[in-house]
């Protein structure tokens, strides 16, 4: 398995996990908020929501690193 194959598989796996995380986070909001509307109240993230939010940020950073590495390797 070459480096490009490893990077491609890594990008696919990270993108699937990111999609799931984003969909799980949107599930807790109202219908209008998920389509670009505004929530009527402000809520702080606690517990699982905070963890999912932080995991999303980390995975986006990892995805960007994999993408840059993939471009550099090609």
State phi, psi for 19 to the nearest 5 degrees: -60, -45
Distance CA 49, CA 51 (A): 5
pLDDT score, position 16: 95
Counted domains in the chain: 1
pLDDT score, position 37: 53
Record the pTM: 0.70
Find the farthest-apart pair of alpha carbons in the chain and give their distance in angstroms, rounded: 51
Domain residue limits at 11: 3-73
pLDDT tens column, 31-63:
545 555 555 555 666 788 888 889 999 999 999
């Amino acid at each position: 398995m070459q480096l490009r194959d490893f990077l491609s598989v890594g990008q696919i796996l990270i993108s699937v996990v990111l999609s799931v995380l984003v969909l799980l986070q949107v599930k807790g909001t109202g219908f209008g908020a998920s389509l670009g509307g505004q929530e009527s109240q402000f809520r702080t993230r606690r517990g699982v929501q905070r963890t999912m939010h932080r995991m999303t940020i980390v995975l986006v950073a990892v995805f960007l690193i994999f993408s840059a590495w993939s471009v550099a390797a090609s």
